[in-house]
Amino acid sequence: MALDRWIALVLLGICLVYGYAAWFTMDGGLAPFMRRNPIWPSTFPKVLSIIAIMSALVILLGLEKGQAEDAKPTITWTEFRSYKLAQAALLLGLMVAYALLLRPAGFIASTMGFLILGSAVLGERRWITMVIVSGLATGVVWYLVQVVLGIFMRPLPAFMGV
């Protein structure tokens, strides 16, 4: 079995666990008034789990390849060392650091830092452009979540008292 199918198999297992959690465990603690709502907090995870399971099954069953079965797989074990695994590991590390720094450093600093460092890891070298784009993206997302949706998100570090 090709590497892309093994990855799809692993993702299918993760998506099945995620789907089980979304369908059977998330709604148990809902307040009584929320049980009458047409959209629950678990609605998006339920839809996401269905789409992810279907996508993993399409790859696992080879339906995306079409009629050309004699074609060489795009991901192989023999070329495994040529992939940029260090970049992928560094991006995963940045994601973990972002999640851990989100509360203590605040949304604006941690998000801008993640976007700037992430784009630098991926090879972008125009620092002024990275700072401007990450600043605009961070500001727009913070404004939409804080002001439009009304969800409080700590914009500044915790020691600043905001």
Task: Using the predicted structure, report yes or no on whether residue 132 has a pLDDT greater than 70.
Answer: yes
Q: What is the mean pLDDT of residues 9-30?
A: 87
Task: Using the predicted structure, report yes or no on whether residue 69 has a pLDDT greater than 60.
Answer: no
Question: 27 — alpha (psi -120 to 50), left (phi > 0) or beta?
Answer: alpha
Q: Give the C-alpha separation, 118 to 111, whole Å.
A: 10
Q: Which two tokens stand for residue 153?
A: 């998100």
Q: What is the mean pLDDT of residues 16-28?
A: 86
Q: Give the C-alpha separation, 16 to 29, whole Å.
A: 21
Residue 119: pLDDT band (50, 70, 90) is very high
Least Cα distance to 59 among 115, 6, 103 occurs for: 6
Residue ranges covered by each domain of the chain:
3-81, 84-160
Question: What's the confidence (pLDDT) of residue 58?
Answer: 92
Distances (CA, A) of 104 to 94, 112, 113, 161: 16, 14, 13, 11
Comparison of pLDDT for 93 and 162, the residue scoring more:
93
Distances (CA, A) of 129 to 94, 116, 133, 142: 20, 10, 6, 20
Q: What's the mean pLDDT when you consider all of the chain?
A: 84
Q: What angle do CA 16, 23, 26 make, to 5 degrees?
A: 115
pTM beyond 0.85: no
Write the pLDDT tens digit of every residue in 96-109.
999 999 888 889 99
Residue 107: Cβ-neighbour burial (10 angstroms; 0-12, 13-18, 19+) = buried
